[in-house]
Structure 1
Amino acid sequence: MTRRLLLSYLSLILLVLLCLEVPFGYVYARGEMSRFAGTGQQGAVMLAEVLEEKVEEKADADVPRVAAGFARRTGSHVIVTDRVGRVLTDSRNTVATGTDLSAEPDIATALRNRSTTGTRQDAVLGGETFVATMPGSSGTTVRCVVRVTYPLGGLTEKTRDAWLVLAAVGIGVLAAVTLIAFGLARWITRPVRALERATTQLADGTLEDPPATDLGPPELRRLATSFTHTAARLQHLLHAQQAFASEASHQLKTPLTSLRLRLENFEPYLDPRAQGSLDEAVSEVERLNRMVQGLLALARLENSATTPEPADLDTVVADRAAIWTAFAAENLVDIGVSGPSVGLVWAIPGALEQIIDNLLSNALRISPPGSVITLAKVAAGEDPRASAHVALHVIDQGPGMSESERQRAFDRFWRATDAYHDGTGLGLPIVQQLTRAGGGDVTLDTAPGGGLDATVRLKPADPHRPPSARRPRSATRARHGARPPARTG
């Protein structure tokens, strides 16, 4: 912003200087030329009058002396002809005496008792010259013609010097304005830079350096005051929400546990016909407990910030597959791992374990006996859909999802119509939140041959270069108990 303000100031000043100095320079140059031409013409007229008298008095011998003296004093070139256009004298001896010049336009015009002036290139004087051709006449009788050629070199140098002075003045003004404008732009943008730093800090969760409210123009001061007030309010709300997320789990855990124990204590005293209702009530309490834990986990994910770190995806996949194999064996389902070693990926601490646990839990619940759940790793650049990301596919052989169901699968509390009643609808939203916190993403597709392909795309990690991900969030534990939960949308 400082640069743009500085450029705007300089552009305006440069425009003003051009509008002032260029016309002034042209006016000055034309004025000097006009004065030079007037002086030269007046000198030529006076010389023509003197020489006309010499010719009239038959003192032709004095003509060369007078012409040479004038040429020497003015630095000009003088040619004098008689009344028919024959050369009487040439101050520089470039034209022989007696040469007929009556055919030349300016001489012919002067012989008709009319004077001419103008500029032209002259080989004798070298460069551009001003030429004044005057008739030496008495009344209508022309006795001689005088051509005086003045060099314009001095005038050109004077005009060039004037342009140089104007340019130097303009550069000086621009330099002075640059210093003033830079200081002014820095003064104006200082509150904006402070607001930018404060906004970055607030986006990371804590405003440690609030912008000063007494710097810069009044409008920016008011903006800084409003921002500080808004930031304080937001921080208060965030802290209150974080406090709720940390305290609610402890406050809700005890009554839910107590409720479950009380329901289980009813079992010896219930009619056998009510046993089914008791089991359903206990199951609903368990589902409520998992739902509360899931909501609290999402709240903590959204309210805290943690920087992604390199994590070994190969090790995590092998570890989680080994742990879940025991659960899968109970349902006669096998878990397989395929694909090459993919190395390190960016993820917030503990996120990979939770992502794989939730996806395996969902896949295991709907996998038929005798089927296989595959954890397929794809290196960066090998999967066209994953672009430059490392991909992890969790593929089951269950009933799959329709297109409309896959579009809604990451909505909170949504569950497929055929899902078991004890699902919470929070598993996939947690997976999506954890994946995006590390700069990746997750999608659901139909697996070849049926079933569901949950694809997690993660950025390959360079330990020496931090990821350019969106603001990361902490990986608060989001598992819903040791047993695989019901399939959630």
Structure 2
Amino acid sequence: MTRRLLLSYLGLAILVLAGLEIPLGWIYARGEMTRASQGVERDASMLAEITEENIEEGNLEALPEVVGDYATRTGRHVVVTDRQGVVLADSDPSGRIGVSIAAAPDIARALRNEPTVVTGDEVLSATMPGSSGTTVRGSLRLTSPTAEVDSRVRRIWGALALAGACVLAAVALAAFTLARWITRPLRTLEAATAQLADGRLTNPPDTTTGPPELRSLAVSFTRTATRLQQLLMAQQAFASEASHQLKTPLTALRLRLENFEPYLDPRAHGSLEEAVDEVERLSRMVQGLLALARLENSATTPEPVDLDTVIADRAAMWEPLAAEQYVALAITGRAAGRVWAIPGALEQIIDNLVANALRVSPPGTTVTIHRAPGTGLHVIDQGPGMTEADRARAFDRFWRSSDSQHDGTGLGLPIVRHLVQASGGDITLHPAPGTGLDAAVRLRPVTGDRSREASGRPRSRPARSAAP
């Protein structure tokens, strides 16, 4: 932002300088050219009077001396003719004396007692008649190069450019100081926002410098961030304490229910088992809620993880349980390589998806973990699948399908989605070929540069395991 402010100030200064200096330079150049033209015209009139007197007196030998002396002093070119346009004197030694130039337009006009002044790109020319009243005795042409005028104009343009450069330098220094003063609160606010996004504000934004509006914004941000930190710490404290406070009562309730079994009528044993199952489900739900709260409250940074290694490890862990349910567990697809994921997230993602797949898979079917091109991960089962409406709501907390026959908590997929999104990926549900459900996870691949960059980062706190 400092650069943009500086460029805007400099751009405005350049426009102002251009609006002032260009007209000033143009006016000066026009003035110089006008003064030079008037000087040539004045000198030509004066010389014409002198030469006319010499011609009238018949003193033609004095003409070369007059024009030569003037040309030596001024560096200009003078030509004198008689009334027929024949050259009587020329300040140029190589001039052709005695040659008629009456056909030249300016000489012809002068011989008709009409002066001519011409302002050209390279020379200024003034042709005057040598006359007394209406009697024309000759003409005089005076030409002057514009090099001297052009030199003076270039000098003034250079002076204006130098002055403009000095003004721009002063404006740049003042603009840089002003821009730094304006943007300092924004820089500290940006750093504070990044800290808050990482979970803790250690350096509040500066509230003592900058414009009043930005100081007020920094004060409001600090107050909001402090309140938010207090709420987050309270929630984290609740999640930590609740995990201990709720475990004990639920465990005691389960033990009491199991102790009732010897004293109950056999016909009530079914209801007792259902009550124990509900207590277990409530315990898992509490654990899932606490795990989800911990995930949402912890700021983690994705790190490179070998997807193939994690898949192989988790598949080996789930194979015995799948075999007990007469369900095969298969890994397909080409090696995916390394992906970006928060620490511990891939294990939980695969565990939750495989657990859900095994829960709905009938005996004799296969749960497939497929590695797709582009660091995609698919967990495919051959269960009953989901309708389109169910797939749209599957990531809602506590949601369970109306025809669900299992004892899930409705928190497994929300936890998976949070882990995937925190890792910079996305997850979608699709119908599997034939029957069943395809849970498709897409994660970001690790490139060489980013991998080296991440190797220097401190490891973040791993995400804790959550019950499906």
TM > 0.5 fold call: yes
CA RMSD of aligned residues (A): 2.0
- Deviation string, structure 1 residues 370-427 (Cα, Å, up to 9, x no partner): 111122234xxxx3xxxx3x22221111111222222222121222221126221111
Partner of 1:302: 296
Of the structure 1 ranges 226-235 and 407-416, higher mean CA displacement relative to structure 2 is found in 407-416
Query: Match of 2:246, SS?
Result: helix
Correspondences of 1:165-184 after superposition (within 5 Å): 165-184=159-178
Partner of 1:207: 201
Partner of 1:486: none
- Decide which of 411, 414, 422 is 1:437's aligned counterpart: 422
Of the structure 1 ranges 315-324 and 203-212, higher mean CA displacement relative to structure 2 is found in 315-324
Q: Which residue identity does 1:131 align to in structure 2?
A: S
- Identify the structure with the greater helix proportion: 2
Query: Match of 1:412, SS?
Result: coil
Asked if the contact 1:136–1:143 (Cα under 8 Å) also holds between the matched residues in 2, the reply is: yes
Q: Which residue identity does 1:333 align to in structure 2?
A: V
User: 1:425 aligned to 2:410?
Assistant: yes
- Decide which of 381, 387, 401 is 1:416's aligned counterpart: 401
Q: Which residue identity does 1:90 align to in structure 2?
A: D
How many angstroms apart in 2 are the aligned matches of 1:281 and 1:189? Answer: 63
User: 1:355 aligned to 2:349?
Assistant: yes
How many angstroms apart in 1 are the aligned matches of 2:462 and 2:297? Answer: 8
How many angstroms apart in 1 are the aligned matches of 2:82 and 2:396? Answer: 111
Unaligned residue ranges in structure 2 (runs of 5+): none
Q: Which runs of 4+ in 1 moved over 6 A?
A: none
- Deviation string, structure 1 residues 190-222 (Cα, Å, up to 9, x no partner): 111111111100000011111121111222111
How many angstroms apart in 1 are the aligned matches of 2:103 and 2:194? Answer: 87
- Deviation string, structure 1 residues 460-481 (Cα, Å, up to 9, x no partner): 44552329xxxx885122025x
Unaligned residue ranges in structure 1 (runs of 5+): 122-127, 481-489
Partner of 1:476: 464
Correspondences of 1:11-90 after superposition (within 5 Å): 11-90=11-90
Q: Percent identity?
A: 63
Partner of 1:487: none
How many angstroms apart in 2 are the aligned matches of 1:21 and 1:345? Answer: 61
- Decide which of 432, 457, 460 is 2:442's aligned counterpart: 457
Asked if the contact 2:343–2:461 (Cα under 8 Å) also holds between the matched residues in 1, the reply is: no
- Deviation string, structure 1 residues 51-107 (Cα, Å, up to 9, x no partner): 112222222232222222222222211111111222111121444233222211111
Asked if the contact 1:310–1:345 (Cα under 8 Å) also holds between the matched residues in 2, the reply is: yes
- Decide which of 195, 213, 238 is 1:244's aligned counterpart: 238
Asked if the contact 2:367–2:381 (Cα under 8 Å) also holds between the matched residues in 1, the reply is: yes
Partner of 1:217: 211
Q: Which residue identity does 1:294 align to in structure 2?
A: G
Query: Match of 2:377, SS?
Result: strand
Give, in angstroms, the shift of residue 437 of structure 1.
Answer: 2.1
Correspondences of 1:88-487 after superposition (within 5 Å): 88-120=88-120, 128-378=122-372, 383=373, 388=374, 390-420=375-405, 422-461=407-446, 463-466=451-454, 474-480=462-468
The number of equivalent residue pairs is 461
Q: Which residue identity does 1:419 align to in structure 2?
A: S
Give, in angstroms, the shift of residue 133 of structure 1.
Answer: 0.4
How many angstroms apart in 2 are the aligned matches of 1:169 and 1:67? Answer: 42
- Deviation string, structure 1 residues 7-57 (Cα, Å, up to 9, x no partner): 011111111111111111111111111111112111111111111122222
Query: Match of 2:419, SS?
Result: helix
Q: Which residue identity does 1:105 align to in structure 2?
A: P
How many angstroms apart in 2 are the aligned matches of 1:320 and 1:155? Answer: 90
How many angstroms apart in 1 are the aligned matches of 2:85 and 2:240? Answer: 116
How many angstroms apart in 2 are the aligned matches of 1:465 and 1:453? Answer: 34
Q: Which residue identity does 1:55 align to in structure 2?
A: I
Asked if the contact 1:437–1:473 (Cα under 8 Å) also holds between the matched residues in 2, the reply is: no
How many angstroms apart in 2 are the aligned matches of 1:391 and 1:131? Answer: 86
How many angstroms apart in 2 are the aligned matches of 1:230 and 1:415? Answer: 37
Q: Which residue identity does 1:33 align to in structure 2?
A: M
Give, in angstroms, the shift of residue 329 of structure 1.
Answer: 2.5
How many angstroms apart in 1 are the aligned matches of 2:310 and 2:219? Answer: 48
Of the structure 1 ranges 170-179 and 330-339, higher mean CA displacement relative to structure 2 is found in 330-339
